[in-house]
Structure 1
Amino acid sequence: MRRREFISMLTGVAAVWPLAARAQQAGTRPRLAWIHPSALLADLQENGSVRAYRAFLEQLRKLGRVEGANLIVERYSGGGRQDHYEELVRNVVQSRPDVVFTSGSEIARHLKAATTTIPIVAVLTDPVADGFITNLAHPGGNVTGAAVDAGIEIWSKRLALLKESLPSASRVGLLCSRAYWENPGKAGEALRAAAPKLGVSVSGCVQEGALQEAGYRRVFDAIQRDRLDGIVVHDQAENFTNRKIIVELARSAGLPAIYPYREYVELGGLMAYAVDLPDAFRHAADHVDKILRGVSPSELPFYQQTRFELLINLKTAKALNLNIPATLLGSSDEVIE
C-alpha cells in the first residue's frame, strides 16, 4: 500500500506535531492516533453504530477531552489487510502522535515493535500471554490498556458451552487467523486440549489474506464442505468488524456458533460467552486521559474484566431446530426471545 493510500484513511489534521510535553508547553491540542485493524472509519465516531467505540469517545468527553476543542483525534483503519499493518503503523509512528489507541493484538504487536517512547493504549485479549507485558499491575513499558480475556481457559469454556447446547456435535471449528490456531498459548491450543474431554474434534477454520467479506465466504464454503457441526468464533478485532457477515453465513449454513461478544447475539448469533466490550473501551479512555495528564503508561495497571455473561438467542435456536437444555438456559444471564 502506498503512502498516499494511508493518508486517505486519516481524518483530522495530517501535519507532524511535536511530542506531548512540547505540545503542552506550546499550548497546542494533544493528538490521539486511533488505529483499528479493520473497522470502517465511519464507525469510529461518537455517533457511530458500534457501542464500544461510542463508549470510548463518550468517556473522553466526560473526562473533558472534547474532539475538535481540546483534542485532535486521527483515525486509521487497516481494512483487515494484515500484510499492510506494519506499513500503516510505521506511518502513524512517524507522525509522532501523543498517544496511540488500538484494539487487537496484531496492530498492537507492530506498534510495540515500532516505538518504545510513544504511549500505547490497547484493548487486548490477554496482554501477558501475548507477550506485551509481564505483569498486569505493573506493565513497565509504553503499553497499557484493558484486557478482555480471563486467560486461555476461556476457550475451553466456550467449547463446553457449545457442546452442551448441541450434545450430538462431534466436529467443531475455530474461526480465526492462522496465528490463533497454530501458535502456542493461543485459542487453538486450548481447544485442542479440551476437545477429547468433551468428545469432539476441533479444526482450524483459518482465514487467509484480507479479512474481508470474500475471505469469510471462502472459509464458510470450506466449513460446509467439511461438514462441521458447529464453530467457535475468535474474539480478534477483524472478526468483530465482520460480525454481521459471520452471523449471516452461520445462519445460512444452519451452523450453531458461540461468539465472544454480545453484539453477535443481538445480530442473530446463537450464543455468546462474553465480556462487556464498552466497559473495556471506557477504561481505555480513562488511561488515555491519564497519560495526557502526564502519567506514564508504565505506571498504569491494565484493567482486567472478570465478569462474563452467557447470552442465548432462542429465536436462532428454534431456527436451527435446537432444544437448548434447561440447565443451560437456567445458567444464562440473558435469553433473547
Structure 2
Amino acid sequence: MIDLRSDTVTKPTEAMRKAAFEAEVGDDVYVEDPTVNRLEEKAAEILGKEAALFVTSGTQGNQIAVLTHCQPGQEVIVEAESHVFYYEGAAMSAFAGIQPRTIKGVRGAMNPQDVKAAIRGEDIHFPETGLICLENTHNRAGGAIVPLENMKEIYEIAKEHNVPVHLDGARLFNASVATGIPLKEFAAQTDSVQVCLSKGLGAPVGSIIAGSKEFIAKARKWRKRLGGGLRQVGIIAAPAYIALTEMVDRLIDDHVNAKKLAEGLGQIPSLRVENEVETNIVLVNVADTGHDANSFLELIKKEEILAVGFGPTTVRFTTNYDVTSEEIDTVIDKIKSVLS
C-alpha cells in the first residue's frame, strides 16, 4: 500500500529504534529521566520559550494548554474548522468546562478585527474570554500556512485585552520549512505552543508544549491529572529527540511531493484540487467522477492507495516520510488509469 492517509502513519527510522533501545532513563514524574529532560530543554530552545513539557499527543497538549490557561465557565475563541474544535471530541467542554466561540477564517486565518470583536466585555450575561487558539499549519484548510503577520496582529490584540494565546502548531515545522521563518518567530506570537513530533518528523509517539516556566509548572500538574505522567519515558523521548533535531529539514521533500501530486491529479479532468498546496496536504474533490468520498476511497484502495475522506466529495492525501517521489508518480498513474 502507498499510504497517504496522514503523516502520522510514518514508521520510526532505524536511528530512532536504536536510540530507544539505548536510551538512558529515569522516572519522569520525579523529573529524573535525563533523556526527557534533554528533549524538553532542546524543544524550549528551538521554540524560544522558557520551558517545555513532553506529552503523549497533540490533542493532550492542546487540552492541557486550555486547562492551564482557563477557568470553568470561560470562553475560548477558535477558528471554526480548527483541530481543537473539530477533532478533539469536545474535550475543552468535557474537561475544562469552557465553551468555544468560533470565527470563520480564510484558509485557516481569522480576521484580527473579528477576533477583537469576539472578545467579551464586562457583562454579567457573558462568559469571560479565557483564551484565543490559533492553528498553524491549518489542517482543514489543506495545510495552509497562517501568515506570521496575521498571528502578530491577533497577539497584539490579545495582549491589549489580557487574553492569552495558544498555538496548535501540530505541523508548525512544515510552516517554518516552507517559509524559512524560524519556529521561534511563530512561537513568539503566543503564550503557549504545541508541536507534534509524531507527524512529519516521524517520531513514534509524542508532542511538546512550551511556554513560560510558570505555565509549564501548572501544565505538568494537568498532565498528571490526565494520566499523562509517565515513568521511564526516555524510551520514547529518545526517538522524539532525533525527530526534533534530525528530521525537520527533510519536510521539504514532503512539500515537493505534495505539489507534484496536486499537479498530476489536477490534470485529470474529473478531479479538482481544492486547496493551494503550500505544505504536505492535498484536498481533491471527486464529485465529477460519479463517486462520493467513500466510494472513491474504496476504488483507489483496490489500487493499493490509501487516503481519507474530508467531506462528502473531498478526499485528503497527505505526503509523508514513507512515500517516495516515485510512488507519487505511481499514485497519479493508477488513479488516472482507473478513472479512464
Ranked by relative contact order (alpha carbons within 8 Å, sequence separation 6 or more), the top structure is 2
TM-score by length of 1: 0.34
Instruction: Calculate the TM-score normalised by the size of structure 2.
Output: 0.34
